Amino acid sequence: MKHLSMLLILTCLWLPATVMATLRGTGDLGVVIERASGSILIVEHSQHTVLGRVSGLGDLSHASVVFSRDARYAFIFGRDGGLSKVDLLKQRIVKRTIQSGNSIGGAISQDGRLIAVSNYTPGGVRIFNADTLSKVADIPADYGQKTYSKVIGLVDAPNNRFVFSLYDAGEIWVADVTDSQDPKLTKYKDVGRQPYDGLISANGRHYLAGLFGEDGLAHLDLWHPDRGIKKILPGYGKGQNDQKLPVYKMPHLEGWAIAGSQAFFPAIGKHQVLVADTENWQQTGTIPVIGQPVFVMAEPTQRQVWVNFALPNNQWVQVINVESQKPVKTLEPGKGVLHMEFTPRGQAVWISVRDENRIDVYDTQTMQLIIQIPAEAPSGIFFTNRAHKIGL
């Protein structure tokens, strides 16, 4: 009897404890990609700590993450076609599907019901129920050739649309998934040669696709889809610069920063950050920086823009003041700075330093190091407040 009572007490103490351990808010959580080991860290940015690690996520090269609207679940898009749903509270994979042979990113619909993945093989977009990861629609990128086009630059847009670009076809498609089983497609042809990446502005109005095969960008105004695609920033690209350098890494278009009415974006093959007016998409400025920029990211209060660089300058981070349009600080976290993520209200920034197996957390005001966090070759960092943003 005594033993049983003790068992009763111990068991009951133990059981809720395992559950209690995960009873917490999810507003300050995040995910760090550990590419080499196919794992993620689950982190929190109130105290800047690691809560746990989840493994078995496959090839996480170029992996990206979106979050459920309750900020409990992370959807992780791997390079191998893997789509994984991770419970951040229970720290485990709840669903995982190899949905294609080769994929490149994804998005969650405005209402949170649907997950879309853009695929290289077979080329197209597949759409899944966010609860179950069961497939609800398939959009093959059939452009009248023998093969399907690779699809890139997939983003969510207001009114439950997804927008994406067809690399081989030179097209941009808009899928209205209000009826998730039967997406309504609008196709824009001849948008430019080889769109290689895309982004959408934070208000969901402007879709931009970078062009690998020519200079300039393709622009679609989603408030006026009937006006079609316009070519903007015709000087933007690889071809027009006499002093151009070898391009070490194509910049990520996700790394554009829009601060007020100005867009800051990475030049290709040049040690420059470019500035454009978002009203008319004319270039208005050029900011010399220490290397070829990769990510150009506005701090949430829009007073600073933080920049990282391609090899051989990927040990640096530069901070640009938005008003003066000049670098005001150069930091050297270490080799392999791959990504940056700001805490939601901007007081700190997490920087992944891959080759040092560390995340460095800086205070954005003082630009001093707050803490270093061990991680295995960290790349992308994603905080759950992305759940509440269009296009992230």
Q: Whole-angstrom Cα distance, residue 271 to residue 312?
A: 12
Q: Are 164 and 177 in contact (CB under 8 A)?
A: no
What track of x and - describes contact with a copy of itself for positions 303 through 342 (by CB under 8 A)? x-------------------x-------------------
**Is residue 100 within the footprint of a copy of itself (CB under 8 A)?**
no
- Of 28, 34, 215, 341, the residue at the interface with a copy of itself (CB under 8 A) is 28
Q: How many CB atoms lie within 10 A of CB 273?
A: 23
What six digits make up the tokens of 157?
Answer: 């847009």
- Of 48, 69, 96, 271, the residue at the interface with a copy of itself (CB under 8 A) is 69
120-159 binders of a copy of itself (CB under 8 A): 158-159
**Is residue 94 within the footprint of a copy of itself (CB under 8 A)?**
no
- Of 1, 134, 242, 326, the residue at the interface with a copy of itself (CB under 8 A) is 1
Beta bridge partners of 106: 117
Number of residues that bind a copy of itself (CB under 8 A): 60
Closest to 156 (Cα-Cα) out of 120, 203, 196: 203
Q: Whole-angstrom Cα distance, residue 363 to residue 70?
A: 28
Dump the DSSP string for 159-194.
Answer: TTEEEEEETTTTEEEEEE-SSTTSPEEEEE----S-
Dump the DSSP string for 113-133.
Answer: SEEEEEEEETEEEEEEETTT-
Closest to 352 (Cα-Cα) out of 323, 373, 322, 331: 373
- Of 123, 204, 336, 378, the residue at the interface with a copy of itself (CB under 8 A) is 204
**Is residue 55 within the footprint of a copy of itself (CB under 8 A)?**
no
Closer CB to a copy of itself, 302 or 372, in the complex: 302
Which range, of 14-22, 120-128, 309-317, 352-360, touches a copy of itself by CB under 8 A?
14-22
- Of 97, 214, 344, 376, the residue at the interface with a copy of itself (CB under 8 A) is 344
Dump the DSSP string for 286-343.
Answer: EEE-SS-EEEEEE-TTSSEEEEEE-TTSTT-EEEEETTTTEEEEEE---S-EEEEEE-
Residue 25: CB minimum distance to a copy of itself, A = 3
Residue 320: CB minimum distance to a copy of itself, A = 15
**Is residue 180 within the footprint of a copy of itself (CB under 8 A)?**
no
Contact footprint for a copy of itself (CB under 8 A):
1, 4-5, 7-8, 11-12, 15-16, 19-20, 22-29, 44, 46, 67-73, 88-89, 110-112, 158-160, 203-205, 223, 259-261, 279, 300-303, 323, 344-347, 365, 384-385, 387-390
